[in-house]
Amino acid sequence: MSQLPPCPKCNSEFTYEDGVQLVCPECAHEWTEAEQAEAEAGKVIRDSNGNELQDGDTVTVIKDLKVKGSSSVVKVGTKVKNIRLVEGDHDIDCKVDGIGPMKLKSEFVKKA
């Protein structure tokens, strides 16, 4: 019997195969072995459409985002230039015009 890798999200050892996908019964996360190999080789940060992001890219916000500790809102369609990718929960470090420096999650932006 082959040994399947643990879930990359919750580290559960009870993963199983469903066709070409691997599935975790505890957190319902689904992934392929190719995605896992890519993640182990080095974390690749992707936007909401699946495009790979690089330092210095320009991105567009796809959802109104409330600014924590302020009454400001980053509106849909706001362009953010010269992003910097960082490790952590919020993987984009940037400066938004009219608001200032902030951190964004890559799932709320698309590459411009």
Domain 1-41's class? mainly beta
**Domain assignments of the chain as residue spans, ordered by start:** 1-41, 58-111
* Whole-number pLDDT of residue 4: 86
Which of the four CATH numbers 2.30.30.40, 3.50.50.60, 2.40.10.120, 1.10.260.40 does domain 58-111 have?
A: 2.30.30.40
The residue among 64, 55, 39, 38 whose CA lies nearest residue 94 is 55
> pTM, whole model, 2 decimals?
0.63
Give the residue ranges of the chain where pLDDT is below 50: 1
* Backbone φ, ψ for residue 95 (5° rounding): -125, 120
* Whole-number pLDDT of residue 8: 83
